[in-house]
Amino acid sequence: MEPGSVPGSGSVPGSLLLALSEGEQRRYAELFARCCPPGAAAAAAPEAAAGSVAELLRASQLPPDTLLQITEVCGAKRVGCFGPAQFYIALKLIAAAQSGLPVRIESIKNELPLPRFMAMKNDSEIRYGNPTEPHGVKFQVPHATLEKNSYKRTDEGDKQEPKSPPMSPICSPPASPSSYQRTHLSYGYGKSRNGLEQQHGAPYEVRHSTHQQEGPASGNYGAKSTRACSTLNRSLSVEREAPDSSAHYADDPWRITEEQRDYYVNQFLSLQPDLNAFISGSVAKNFFTKSKLPIPELSHIWELSDVDCDGALTLAEFCAAFHLVVARKNGYQLPETLPETLLPDYLQAASLKPIRDCALFDSYSEPLPGSQQTRDFNRLEKTSAEEVPDNSGVIKDASKDDKQVLKTSIAIKPIPKEFQHTTKIFVCLFLFLLRSYSSTSIEDAMKKGEEPPTPPPRPQKSHSRASSLDLNKIFQQNAQAARSGWLPPPPPALPPRPSVTQTEQASEVELHPQMTRPPSQAEENSSAKKEVVLAQLPSKPVRRKFRMETQALENPELSPTINVTSSLPAVKPHLPVQKQSSKQKRAIQTAIRKNKEANAVLARLNSELQQQLKEVHKERIALETQLEQLRPVTVL
């Protein structure tokens, strides 16, 4: 951006000095930077890319001949490109045209509001309208919203703090330039406007700063809110009247105010009493059909709002859909893609933060199993009703899994839809734990969610999993390698051992009558072996396992532990050590026996399955050759 490089003087025919206010300058600079091909901004003679400028012009929603006039007047045609001066002049002219002034050089001498651009494809439908002057003439916005903007201002003022942190991380990457620009806008206006905005410095404050000048008192707020509350009690057919009370738009009609949200949530509850469950497709269809919008539009709204494409709406999706319906009824064109303020991630974050943070998640994990069944049932119903083939359902699940994985990495999204997969349940339960422990900031929660979940504590030497013996062997090897690292060089440790074991046995016999004779005797007998064994590498005792008896096998394992425990904390009394070692020994013995049996069983099973697989392969080959023979030759 080069605000300084265009010091307000354009090389305009007639040598007009363009006085740009600070705010205007910033705005134009960022718009220009956006239109510039990246990297060209730093060039000596930056030029706005014609395509993006054309888009910008179109986004201003002026009639095409006006746009043509603008391009002529600003000198772009003459120069052949949109240099900074031409661009700035063009923006000024757009502002003039939008205010109703003729497109001429003279008109830009006046103080003008900033140009308004609608629905730019680049930045996911965020509207940039921000008239600063009190004429309050807004072209594309229905008049009804004018008063409501003020209401939204005070409303949003409170919500700025909690909402602003969630905004920046949740902005999806394509929207990040727009959020970046919004911050610029906020800086531009924060200084010249209300001190309220200055405190926040948040991305969305520009929306509210612009309506400072509109004058209508915040007394409207009270009136509106009571009106809105009264509508909550009406029946579903109130959707037509809903726009009156709930169409509280700032200049960004895609944001949902708290009032609207409450209204939507109540509607959701009327359809589906559980906040965490889904509204099925047919129910939603009936509901939205009452709004009397044409079916293709409703279809499009559904496409936009059902983000995970599962044929059902969560609370957030429902709010987004409802909001889109309301917007459409108010005359807004439906966007091509879902605005980011309507993304379920954002809505979820926004809804959870102020009001129902822990409560929602407390109930979140509980109905998981319950709603899982209903969810599956719904899916089955839908699939049978719509004749969706099982295969495609599986394919869809697989793709949805991918999408879901992506989404969890982007933001914490409620995952109740992927119930079929226990891994997802694990993830969401884990996220629930994260939520309840972490701070209220969504950023932190998101970052934690992005980190890999901490693995469950590794079972120390316990053979809890009925896995093959190999894993355990490897584990013990590592453990022993680790332990031997703790040891002082083995030879010095050896001499004390016989005494240690003998004292152990003596104390064991005294204190642990449960300790059976044979093990202790075997220990005595093999104490000599232990010395030999330990002198070797730590891996060798493990290998010897297969040759020696089980009891003797224990000893190599035990001896490292004994040595460790004796060497490490000399202060530690031997008694607890011996208790642990004997218990460990027994546990290990039984575990090893079980694992061996399991291993044998699994090996047998494996060989049988291999056999079956071979047979099936043979069959398949035979069938394929048959098929080839039978298939008529159609391809020429």
Partner 1 sequence: MAVCIAVIAKENYPLYIRSVPTENELKFHYTVHTSLDVVDEKISAMGKALVDQRELYLGLLYPTEDYKVYGYVTNSKVKFVMVVDSSNTALRDNEIRSMFRKLHNSYTDIMCNPFYNPGDRIHSRAFDNTVTSMMMQVC
Residue 346 lies near partner 1 (rule: CB under 8 A):
no
Q: Which C-beta is closer to partner 1: that of 147 or that of 297?
A: 297
- The yes or no reply on residue 295 touching partner 1 (CB under 8 A) is yes
Q: Which is nearer to partner 1, 51 or 488 (CB)?
A: 51
CB of 482 to partner 1, least distance (A): 46
CB of 285 to partner 1, least distance (A): 4
Give me the least distance between CB of 617 and partner 1, in Å please: 14
Site membership for partner 1, residue 482 (CB under 8 A): no
Binds partner 1 by CB under 8 A, chosen from 300, 329, 574, 579: 300
Per-residue x/- mask for partner 1, residues 382 to 401, rule CB under 8 A?
A: x---xxxxxxxx-xx--x--
Query: Which residue among 122, 212, 213, 282 contacts partner 1 (CB under 8 A)?
Result: 282
Q: Which long-range contacts (CB under 8 A, 24 or more apart) does 206-210 make?
A: 206/130, 206/182, 207/130, 207/152, 207/156, 207/250, 207/251, 207/252, 207/255, 208/152, 208/153, 208/156, 208/157, 208/160, 208/250, 209/130, 210/129, 210/130, 210/131, 210/132, 210/251
In this complex, which beta carbon is closest to partner 1, that of residue 88 or of residue 287? 287
Please enumerate, as own/partner, the contacts of 519-524 that have beta carbons within 8 Å and a separation of 24 or more.
Answer: 519/551, 519/554, 519/582, 519/585, 522/551, 522/552, 522/555, 523/555
635 binds partner 1 (CB under 8 A): yes
3-state secondary structure 88-133: HHHHHHHHHHHHCCCCCHHHHHCCCCCCCCCCCCCCCCCCCCCCCC
554-593 mask for partner 1 (x: CB under 8 A)? Answer: ----------------------------------------
Q: Can you name the residues that pair with 280 across neighbouring β-strands? A: 312
239 contacts partner 1 (rule: CB under 8 A): no
For 460, the token pair is 């120390």
For residue 347, give the amino acid letter.
L
- Residues 288, 257 contacting (CB under 8 angstroms): no
- The residue range among 87-95, 128-136, 195-203, 309-317 that interacts with partner 1, by the rule CB under 8 A, is 309-317
Contacts of residue 252, defined as CB under 8 A and 6 or more positions apart, other chains included, come to 126, 127, 204, 207, 341
What CA–CA distance (Å, rounded) separates 273 from 236? 15
> Among 251, 306, 418, 557, which residue sits at the site for partner 1 (rule: CB under 8 A)?
306
**Residues 310-329 close enough to bind partner 1 by CB under 8 A:** 310-311
Site track for partner 1 across 251-280, x = CB under 8 A: -----------------------------x
The answer to whether 45 and 83 are in contact (CB under 8 A) is: yes
Q: Evaluate whether 87 touches 45 at the Cβ level (below 8 Å).
A: no
Q: How far is the CB of 632 from partner 1 (least distance, A)?
A: 7
| Residue 137: CB atoms within 10 Å | 13
**Taking a C-beta distance cutoff of 8 angstroms, is the pair 155, 350 a contact?**
no
Is residue 633 classed exposed, middle or buried when 0-12, 13-18 and 19+ CB atoms within 10 A define those classes? exposed
Question: Please, what is the minimum distance in Å from the beta carbon of residue 294 to partner 1?
Answer: 10
Nearest Cα neighbor of 555 from 581, 579, 576 is 581
Q: In the bound complex, what is the minimum distance in angstroms from residue 398's beta carbon to partner 1?
A: 9
Name the minimum Å distance from CB 304 to partner 1: 9
- Minimum distance between the CB of residue 352 and partner 1, rounded to whole angstroms? 26
Among the listed ranges 164-172, 221-229, 291-299, 490-498, the one in contact with partner 1 (CB under 8 A) is 291-299
| Pair of tokens at residue 167 | 């905004």
The answer for 608, left when phi > 0, alpha when psi is -120 to 50, beta otherwise, is alpha
218 makes contact with partner 1 (CB under 8 A): no
Residue number, 380 or 509, with CB nearest to partner 1: 380
Q: Does 632 sit near partner 1 (CB under 8 A)? A: yes
Q: Indicate which single residue of 336, 597, 615, 619 sits in contact with partner 1 (rule: CB under 8 A).
A: 336
Of 32, 302, 322, 364, which lies in the binding site for partner 1, with binding defined by CB under 8 A? 302
Element (H, E) at 403: helix 390-410
Asked if residue 296 binds partner 1 (CB under 8 A), the reply is yes
Residue appearing with tokens 């050896």: 494
Binding marks (x or -) toward partner 1, 353..382, rule CB under 8 A? -----------------------------x
Binding piece for partner 1, criterion CB under 8 A, among 263-271, 297-305, 430-438, 595-603: 297-305
Whether 515 contacts 523, CB under 8 Å:
no
Residue 294 one-letter amino acid = P
* Interface with partner 1, residue 615, by CB under 8 A: no
| Crossing angle for the helix pair 357-365 and 367-386, to the nearest 10 degrees | 70
Count of chain residues binding partner 1 (CB under 8 A): 37
**Spatial contact of 340 and 170, defined as CB atoms under 8 Å apart:** yes
Residues that bind partner 1 (CB under 8 A): 280-282, 284-285, 295-296, 298-300, 302-303, 306, 309-311, 336, 382, 386-393, 395-396, 399, 623, 627, 630-632, 634-636
